[in-house]
Amino acid sequence: MCVAFVLPAPVWAQNKPSTAKKPPVVAQKAVKKAVNKKPGAATPQVKTKAKRLDAVQRPAVPMRASHGQLAGLHASSDPLDLRSSVALVIDQDTREVLFRKNDNAVLPIASLTKLMTGLVISEANLPMSEMITITQADVDTEKGSSSRLAVGTVLSRGDLLHLSLMSSENRAAHALGRSFPGGLDQFVKRMNMRAQALGMSDTRYVEPTGLSSRNQSSANDLAVLVGAAYKEPVLRELSTSHGREIEVGRRTLQYNNTNRLVKSANWDIGLQKTGYISEAGQCLVMQAQVSGRKLIMVFLDSAGKLSRIADAERVRRWVEKSANASGTRHSALADNQPG
Please tell me the pTM assigned to this model: 0.79
pLDDT in tens, 215-260: 999 999 999 999 999 999 999 999 999 999 999 888 999 999 999 9
CB atoms within 10 A of CB 143: 14
Per annotation, catalytic residue among 85, 111, 167, 218: 111
Three-class secondary structure of residue 197 per DSSP: helix
Q: Tell me what pLDDT residue 337 has.
A: 45
Q: Tell me what pLDDT residue 197 has.
A: 98
What amino acid is encoded at 40 in this protein? Answer: G
Q: Tell me what pLDDT residue 21 has.
A: 42
Q: Is 84 noted as a catalytic residue in this protein?
A: no
278 has a pLDDT exceeding 50: yes
Per annotation, catalytic residue among 114, 122, 218, 273: 114
pLDDT in tens, 52-75: 444 455 555 457 899 999 999 999
pLDDT in tens, 120-176: 999 999 999 999 999 999 999 999 999 999 999 999 999 999 999 999 999 999 999
Per annotation, catalytic residue among 66, 85, 168, 302: 168
Using CA atoms, how far apart are residues 190 and 188, in angstroms rounded to an integer? 5
Q: Is 168 noted as a catalytic residue in this protein?
A: yes
Three-class secondary structure of residue 253 per DSSP: strand
Q: Is 212 noted as a catalytic residue in this protein?
A: no
183 has a pLDDT exceeding 70: yes
Q: Tell me what pLDDT residue 339 has.
A: 36
At 28, is the pLDDT very low, low, confident or very high (cuts 50, 70, 90)?
A: very low
What is the chain's mean pLDDT, rounded?
85
Q: Tell me what pLDDT residue 29 has.
A: 46
Q: Tell me what pLDDT residue 305 has.
A: 83
CA angle 115, 163, 136 (to 5 degrees): 100
Q: Tell me what pLDDT residue 46 has.
A: 44
4 has a pLDDT exceeding 50: no
Percent of the chain scoring above 90 in pLDDT = 74
Q: Tell me what pLDDT residue 205 has.
A: 98
Q: Tell me what pLDDT residue 64 has.
A: 86
At 334, is the pLDDT very low, low, confident or very high (cuts 50, 70, 90)?
A: low
Q: What is the mean pLDDT of residues 270-296?
A: 97
Q: Tell me what pLDDT residue 250 has.
A: 87
At 18, is the pLDDT very low, low, confident or very high (cuts 50, 70, 90)?
A: very low
270 has a pLDDT exceeding 80: yes
Distances (CA, A) of 121 to 163, 178, 319: 14, 12, 34
Three-class secondary structure of residue 255 per DSSP: strand
108 has a pLDDT exceeding 70: yes
Using CA atoms, how far apart are residues 15 and 188, in angstroms rounded to an integer? 75
Distances (CA, A) of 330 to 5, 219, 287, 291: 80, 19, 17, 11
Using CA atoms, how far apart are residues 235 and 253, in angstroms rounded to an integer? 22
Q: Tell me what pLDDT residue 59 has.
A: 52
Contact between residue 319 and residue 290 where contact means Cβ atoms under 8 Å apart? yes
Instruction: Give the domains, in start order, of the chain with CATH numbers.
Output: 67-334 (3.40.710.10)
Q: What is the mean pLDDT of residues 38-53?
A: 46
